[in-house]
Structure 1
Amino acid sequence: MSADRPTAADSEPQYDERRRWKALGVGLVAAFMTLLDVSIVNVAVPSMDRALGATPSDLQWVLSGYALTFGLVLVPAGRFGDARGRRNAFVFGVALFTVTSALAGLARSPEWLIAARLLQGAAAGVVNPQVSGLIQQLFRGAERGRAFGLLGATIGISTAVGPLLGGLLIQVGGEQQGWRWVFFVNVPVGILAVLLAWRLLPARPTGRPDRHRLDPVGVLLLGLGVTLLLLPLVQHTQWRGPWKWALIPVGLAFLAGFGLWERRYARSAAPMFDLRLLTLRSYSLGALIALVYFGGFTAIFFIFTLYLQNGLGYSALVAGLAITPFALGSAVASALGGRVVTRYGRPLVAIGLFVVVVGLVATVLVLRGSPSGSVPLLTAGPLLVAGLGSGLVIAPNQTLTLSEVPVPQAGSGAGMLQTGQRIGSAAGIASVGALFFSSLASSRNDWGAAFRQSLLLAAGIITVALVAALVDIVAGRRADHRASTAD
């Protein structure tokens, strides 16, 4: 059998290998749909606010809740697909995503919408690990590389077109009801994906069913810890009094419990996350960079669309166009970064982080005082620069972070890296959003001042990621110097 063909252990008997690329196409469509909902909803937030009378914390939960449940479900869903069959998990995830998208579009209250978004994020977390798992199951050699390349392109395109597509749907559907079509558009796509997936995806599990692989206690401890850390930030303006901050040490205690449980669990079964990976400098610092960077840059689009639409009165379409320079710059630089990361290593990531900070600070400078002219045009250049820097961060950092992870821990390492990114997104939206709404209230609805202060906080968070990258560079050079001296 050719090296480019899956073995009998990797795919079910009688599976027609000619259907592999069609199966991949179904998987990519579903991945596009779930990842699109990370960015497309940003543009719709102001319309939801006006239509449902949402509070600031409601708006933050609409975005951060999706990212939170998305991240928490990723690893256990991937393990479930490995043990019980990826087709079953994929079809269930897409069906749940389709139903919850319809429920979100039908929402009559902020609470209804938040509940639907939490379930929608969990469904997205079920779907995405099945796509990468199917690529590993069905492809080998150069074909696997091409398949993963298509997945990377899908991720980039979904990020780039999300804001613009959201703006177009709201423009067509109207300011009051157009935001509902941001969710309804998933329904026909999801139904078609379920039908095709059941026909095209291999059904047989790649391993024996094993309840211990799911680690429900680890999932619960991690979820409780992160949620308790986020609550005081998201509910900052709603919950009065200092007692809410007591939830932070409680959340840290649950995360400590998660670490202790995973260490104990590893003695008898494969844990949700192998803590030994943190002893690898490239992984621990790379995961920290990913966590902090996503905490900084994801929140930018949330506050920018609120500033443009609610603060300055621009349409959702214009707001989507205003975000597009960042997305396009990121897509272009990602293609370049993937090619040269092995040559330049972590310094490439550090350069990207520095460029992002420069672009965000430049955005603040062009908006200082009372800017004359069109704000979307004024910010296009700085945001393009920030996007170019972002493209040199995300994919190259993931490559470097996983470069030293042993093959048996590759799935766990990659899953927890993605989980950290989603948790960082949720925390960033909560913290930057809290400052935005607090500044807005204290400055008597000075939207420009609130946006600039929040953007500076986001730039400060990304600067922390830059420091972590510089620490990794210095530590790496010292290690190389010691090795050369020893030789």
Structure 2
Amino acid sequence: MSVVLVAGFMTLLDVSIVNVALPSIKTSLGLSSGELQWVLSGYALTFGLLLVPAGRFGDARGRRTAFIAGLTVFTLASMAAGLATSAAWLVTARLIQGAAAGVVNPQVSGLIQQLFEPSERGRPFGLLGATIGVSTAIGPLLGGLLIQAFGAADGWRWIFYINLPIGIVAIVLGARWIPGKPQEERTRETLDPLGVVLLGLGVVLLLLPLVQEREWPGPAKWLLVVAAAVVLAGFWAWERRFAQRGTSVIDLSLFRVRSYGLGALVGLFYFGGFTSIFFTFTLLLQSGLHYSALEAGLAITPFALGSAAASALGGRTVNRFGRPLVVIGLVLVALGLAGTELALHLVPGRGAGFATAIPLLVAGIGSGLVISPNQTLTLAEVPVRRAGSAGAVLQTGQRIGTAVGIAAVGSVFFNRLAHHDGNWSLAFEGSLLVTIGFVLIALVAALTDVVADFRKRRSAA
């Protein structure tokens, strides 16, 4: 567990740690705004693309093999990114890094399902939830510290170099400690190559216009979403047919399980709001209020602290309280973000970092009660043999939610920025309302599960 959580932390950290380094990278390598977008979103694109195929491979051929291979490529790609001397070099390294992260992460949730009995999974999933929440929230702070320590010119390179010693140790210990899959079990399942291709193509067509929303002007890019719907419909039809004679990439019957289907929906919309906070808030602090990278990271730290503390609590209590715990968490997140909106309105200017500390702490506590309990409850009824692919589908939904959230929130942010003569505070306040909207949709999905469970128990009684 220690090895896989450290690796998971490292790969998820690279989603957010780059945010505060973008100004330094732009100055150092002379990147255009489009190239900067690819440094940030290219990672998320290939991350989301590989999750389900890698989870399926881990289920069929062994999670240790997939974990070590993905982590090795991730470590080498991190070194390449740190050594980059051009935009093309850095973007290519980030694409490979994201793909490798997509191979590593499904093995984490799959191994938890494999190594622990259902009644024991609350605590390890709590640790996984803390890993997800803290890695995303603490990324800007760690990035700011590294840039402060190594200088604005080359400090950004250490954002990638820091992965090297951690990755090497995790590879060695993973090979030693993670159980392998017996050889006789590895050849029993086919990998459904056509299903993998159709799903991968559908995910790319769906994510590409979202991650390039600000770089590709005009409405034509949204035709790719229509194409994605057609391809994914073909994938769905193929999977139903293939399931009659083999093990498909995604077990579609899982979505008939209420806890899994609604839990995946909660994750989709919550990550649409959760990750977009750091994107727009960092822009407000650094570009609007002229915070340094370190100061911007420190301003987001209350969220990380609240998330870490509450994730541990959520992991221990999720089996006792169930989905109502997720509802409480979502309510706290919504209240914390509304408090952040009020604090920025009452305390404009450079005092924003202090004014938002308490509301962000409340939102962070709520986030800790959402991510890990939702992960535990969503995967609770999934068979162990499908744990990797089921967890990968859940994470793919989170990556798609992240892309949709950043595109929607970013669009509102930059449109308001243009219409209000560069007023960064007004732009952020407007975009924060969209973020709260995503959280409220996730709350509706969680409440639906709670109400359905209550009716089921009342009917049984």
Residues 289 and 349, structure 2, Cα contact 8 Å, conserved in 1: no
Deviates more, 1:247-256 or 1:413-422: 413-422
CA distance in 2, matches of 1:135, 1:397: 15
CA distance in 1, matches of 2:187, 2:80: 33
Letter in 1 for 2:75: T
1:324-339 aligned at under 5 Å gives the runs 324-339=301-316
Residues 134 and 307, structure 2, Cα contact 8 Å, conserved in 1: no
Residues 275 and 406, structure 2, Cα contact 8 Å, conserved in 1: yes
1:456 corresponds in structure 2 to 433
**Structure-2 change in CA distance of 1:439 and 1:100 (3 Å):** farther
**In the TM superposition, what is the alpha-carbon distance from 1:52 to its structure 2 partner?**
4.0
Letter in 2 for 1:412: S
**Structure-2 change in CA distance of 1:267 and 1:224 (3 Å):** same
Letter in 1 for 2:407: A
2:456 corresponds in structure 1 to 479
**Structure-2 change in CA distance of 1:374 and 1:345 (3 Å):** same
Structure 1 unaligned spans of 5+: 1-23
Q: Is 1:386 the counterpart of 2:371 in the alignment?
A: no
**Structure-2 change in CA distance of 1:230 and 1:77 (3 Å):** closer
CA distance in 1, matches of 2:420, 2:27: 21
Secondary structure of the 2:156 match is helix
Q: Is 1:228 the counterpart of 2:225 in the alignment?
A: no
**In the TM superposition, what is the alpha-carbon distance from 1:103 to its structure 2 partner?**
2.1
Letter in 1 for 2:19: N
Secondary structure of the 1:175 match is coil
Q: Is 1:102 the counterpart of 2:79 in the alignment?
A: yes
Residues 65 and 426, structure 1, Cα contact 8 Å, conserved in 2: no
Residues 44 and 166, structure 1, Cα contact 8 Å, conserved in 2: yes
**In the TM superposition, what is the alpha-carbon distance from 1:469 to its structure 2 partner?**
1.6
Which digits, 9 at most, give the CA deviation of each residue in 1:142-189, with x for residues without a partner?
Answer: 998876666555555544543322111011122232111101111233
Letter in 2 for 1:30: A
1:264 corresponds in structure 2 to 241
**Structure-2 change in CA distance of 1:249 and 1:153 (3 Å):** closer
Among 39, 51, 55, the alignment partner of 1:78 is: 55
**In the TM superposition, what is the alpha-carbon distance from 1:63 to its structure 2 partner?**
3.3
CA distance in 2, matches of 1:279, 1:46: 46
1:61-460 aligned at under 5 Å gives the runs 61-133=38-110, 154-155=131-132, 158-159=135-136, 161-198=138-175, 205=182, 207-210=184-187, 213-368=190-345, 371-372=348-349, 374-460=351-437
Residues 366 and 378, structure 1, Cα contact 8 Å, conserved in 2: yes
CA distance in 2, matches of 1:147, 1:117: 29
Residues 27 and 131, structure 1, Cα contact 8 Å, conserved in 2: yes
**In the TM superposition, what is the alpha-carbon distance from 1:190 to its structure 2 partner?**
2.4
**Structure-2 change in CA distance of 1:198 and 1:392 (3 Å):** closer
Secondary structure of the 2:356 match is helix
Structure 2 unaligned spans of 5+: none
CA distance in 2, matches of 1:141, 1:345: 13
Cα RMSD (Å): 2.9
Residues 310 and 365, structure 2, Cα contact 8 Å, conserved in 1: yes
Secondary structure of the 1:392 match is helix
1:37-56 aligned at under 5 Å gives the runs 37-56=14-33
Which digits, 9 at most, give the CA deviation of each residue in 1:177-210, with x for residues without a partner?
Answer: 2111101111233234334545555566455444
TM-score w.r.t. length of structure 2:
0.89
TM-score w.r.t. length of structure 1:
0.85
CA distance in 2, matches of 1:465, 1:352: 11
Letter in 2 for 1:126: V
Letter in 2 for 1:457: V
Secondary structure of the 2:17 match is helix
Secondary structure of the 1:367 match is helix
